[in-house]
Amino acid sequence: MKSTSEDEEEYRALQLIGKSWRILKSNPVLFIPQIILIGIEYTGGLIFSSSLVPLIARQASEEVLTSWLLGGEIGWVIVSVVVTAWIWGVYPILVKDVLEGEPPKITEAFKEAWHRILSLLGAILLIGLICVGCLFIPIVGIVLLFFCIVWFYHYAPAVMLDNNRAVESLDTSKDFSLGKKWSILGIIAFTQFLPVLIILVLLLPPLILAPESFASDIILYLGGIVGFAVGILFTTLGAIIPAYGYLKHKHTPVTSSHN
């Protein structure tokens, strides 16, 4: 049995990020699930955008419009949560394929993740409730939230690779994540905050120097394209890394060119 310090030494953020990047670079098909997710979220945002609402308002009463918007937005949130859980369940299977020297089987991974959708959804909802509950506890809640983010980082691999149910997956993820908090936080910072920083660095200086100009409009347009590309890159890496780390440090090592 390995000690906590040995686990921390092996589970290194930079090493996991680098190897996950090589997996993604060699298998660009891994972008597909995240493109689907972002496409669904973008479509939902477009449907309920301010540009579409006036078109509907001209043909419907205020009560009908309010009901349509409220029901539609609730429905879209539900669909978005379900698809997010589904897609996060796809990646452990795809990464497992790669580490076993096989091409990623997208269709089969989606089917397998769908069979586990209730456990994936249950885990996401439990994590959300726990994190929200932490925010209602003064001072101590922030510390608990910090630990929850670390403990439940590997919930999707725990569901998909160990056939755990929702509560079991959180326990398994917590046990696996012990002693790895700084590496996990480093990975989260890399995948969540670095892309925001990149976009800000690219967009803010020109917009500050030349606001309300044609150049700033072009920059905003290009920034949207860059933001989309950066978002897909980092969200895909963010889904691959916990799956790769879980497979390499919990499951039996497999032979692969990505080892």
Whole-number Å distance between alpha carbons of 179 and 173: 12
Average pLDDT over residues 43-70: 57
Q: Is the per-residue pLDDT at 119 higher than 90?
A: yes
Which pLDDT belongs to residue 151?
93
Q: pLDDT confidence of 6, banded at 50, 70, 90? A: very low
Q: Is the per-residue pLDDT at 57 higher than 60?
A: no
112's tokens: 């397998």
Instruction: For the chain, give the number of residues.
Output: 259
For residues 159 and 219, the model is more confident at 159
| pTM for the predicted model, two decimal places | 0.81
pLDDT tens profile 200-216:
877 776 667 666 666 66
Angle, helices 31-47 vs 62-99, to 10°: value is 180
CB-CB neighbours of 66 under 10 Å: 11
CB 41 within 8 A of CB 87: no
Q: CB-side exposure of 215: number of CA atoms within 13 Å?
A: 9
Which pLDDT belongs to residue 5?
45
Query: CA angle 48-53-59, nearest 5°?
Result: 135
pLDDT tens profile 7-42:
444 788 999 999 999 999 999 999 999 998 888 877
Class of residue 201 by CB neighbours under 10 A (exposed 0-12, middle 13-18, buried 19+): exposed
Class of residue 99 by CB neighbours under 10 A (exposed 0-12, middle 13-18, buried 19+): buried
Q: pLDDT confidence of 223, banded at 50, 70, 90? A: confident
Q: pLDDT confidence of 67, banded at 50, 70, 90? A: low
Whole-number Å distance between alpha carbons of 82 and 137: 29
